[in-house]
Amino acid sequence: MPAARFQGTLEQVDETCFRIPRSYMPGMRVEGLIYADERLIEEVKSGQAPQQVANVAYLPGIQMASLAMPDIHWGYGFCIGGVCATDPEQDGVISPGGVGYDINCGVRLVRTGLAESEVTGRLKGLVDELFRSIPTGVGRTGKYSFSHQELKRMMSEGVSFLRGRGLATDDDVEFTEARGCIEDAEPECVSERALERGTRQCGTVGSGNHFVEVQVVDEVVDEAAAAAFGLKRGMVCVLIHSGSRGLGYQVCDDALRALRDTPARYGVELPDRQLVCAPIKGPEGRQYLGSMRSAANFAFCNRQLIMWQTREVFERFFGRSWQQLEMELVYDIAHNIAKFEEHLIEGRRKRVCVHRKGATRAFPPGHPELPARYRPVGQPVMIPGDMGRASWVLAGAPGSMLKTFGTTCHGAGRAMSRTASVKAARGRRIDRELLEAGIIARARSHRGLAEEQPAAYKDVDLVVDVVHKAGLSTKVARMRPIGVIKG
């Protein structure tokens, strides 16, 4: 059930940040901070998500503040857009609600050497071929099948497992967050049911807001960063959004059941049972971390195989190899994950567990974890909007390390529930409306398109303005959709 509606007052800190003081509820260990501006904050106040920001402030070991990005909306446990860091040396906990059911849902941007003029007249055929060739939707399986033993290797090795099978290149590994492998994954912690669900789902696009989208770079804001990312105005790109599919969902479901009584055993009182958690240093926490990392590595491989199939479609359709088409990976980044990172907190370097639930890592220029090519300009950050307006590429900025544990937003954020979206679309054909705007959309059902119609989302330009002004990530290029396939 959704959290209770927020009953407090949001105190404005500056033009991009609002505070929930610790005094709002007894038991809050830190304050809550919501990044938004006056154009977005009224909508935020009207929902349950601010209450979830306050609830997260109860977690043992939480550092600095409970945070939310401007794409904030209600989620399970944590709000979507929620961020927190916990310190294992201060009895810090790990909470599955701070990662979500779709573990390592994320995005991957592929640039091409094609100009918009080379695609426009053939766009319908290209989108139809993508839709025929890439499995999309609930329960869909694909052409790649792995035994349980192979899945365990994949979950341990990440994208390097696919490189060994000729399904990834060295650059594909290099330009994936964490080189496509979260360390210390423990596939033996993953249930047989989860393995069964993942057997033939690697290389498939989920339902809901997951997609493969053909886009055109229609505006370049930062020439230096765009050049480093290999982007230029008029270039055709492909943005891929998917996660760990049924395997990750099952890992989360298993963990929520296993941890149901854990907070009480450790004397932890929580305002919302959806925030079930376990000490990072305890056996229950280690079990979840091992399985969550395994699912995260599966998700990196899922997006890699979706990209591989996309390359194959472009090869067949344009009669040239993907190398000749210059279909290179710009970057792949997670936005539902918990990772151990080093951050400066109250003047001390600490290794903390950063929960990002619908939020994107945004490391700044010079960060040692970035590929050498991107170190001078910062990490690429891909922010999908809705399928009728735009998406953005940004670069991580120094402010993210000071304010948000190296984090920025992950998308536009929903403005309407899926039920409300379907109701609002009654009597309309969203595919035809998109076609009139020059966008070809293919989905498994009219309902799926209705749920994901442009009006269901906030304006991504407004969301991106907030993180840009706040110094969490800076604008590089705006991408306009021209074709999309969805589940």
Q: For 102-113, what is each residue's pLDDT tens digit?
A: 999 999 999 999
pLDDT for the residue 192: 97
Instruction: Check pLDDT > 70 for residue 1.
Output: no
In this prediction, residues 181-199 reach a mean pLDDT of 97
pLDDT for the residue 140: 83
- How far is the C-alpha of 95 from the C-alpha of 83, rounded, in Å? 12
Do the beta carbons of residue 293 and residue 178 sit within 8 Å?
A: no
Dihedral of CA 461/218/357/485: which sign? Answer: positive
Residue 477: closest CA among 105, 176, 220, 230: 220
Task: List pLDDT tens digits, range 128-145.
Answer: 999 999 999 888 888 999
Task: List pLDDT tens digits, range 313-328.
Answer: 999 999 999 999 999 9
pLDDT for the residue 187: 98
- Please give the full DSSP string across 411-477, using - where no structure is assigned: S--BSS-HHHHHHHTTT--HHHHHHHTT-EEE-S-HHHHHHT-GGGB--HHHHHHHHHHHTSEEEEE
Task: List pLDDT tens digits, range 376-397.
Answer: 999 999 999 999 999 999 999 9
Task: pLDDT band for 2, please (50, 70, 90 cuts).
Answer: low
**In this predicted structure, which of 27-36, 303-312, 441-450 has the lowest mean pLDDT?**
441-450
Instruction: Check pLDDT > 90 for residue 275.
Output: yes
In this prediction, residues 189-204 reach a mean pLDDT of 96
In this prediction, residues 225-230 reach a mean pLDDT of 98
pLDDT for the residue 137: 85
- How far is the C-alpha of 53 from the C-alpha of 32, rounded, in Å? 6
Look at strands 473-486 and 440-442 and give their pairing.
Answer: parallel
Q: What's the token pair of residue 235? A: 């270039």
- How far is the C-alpha of 264 from the C-alpha of 173, rounded, in Å? 42
> Which residues lie across from 349 on neighbouring strands?
344
pLDDT for the residue 394: 98
pLDDT for the residue 198: 95
Q: Which numeric CATH code is attached to 11-415+457-486?
A: 3.90.1860.10
For the chain, give the percent of residues with pLDDT over 70.
99
CA angle 454, 456, 459 (to 5 degrees): 65
Residues annotated as catalytic (active site), given as ranges:
410
Instruction: Check pLDDT > 80 for residue 3.
Output: no
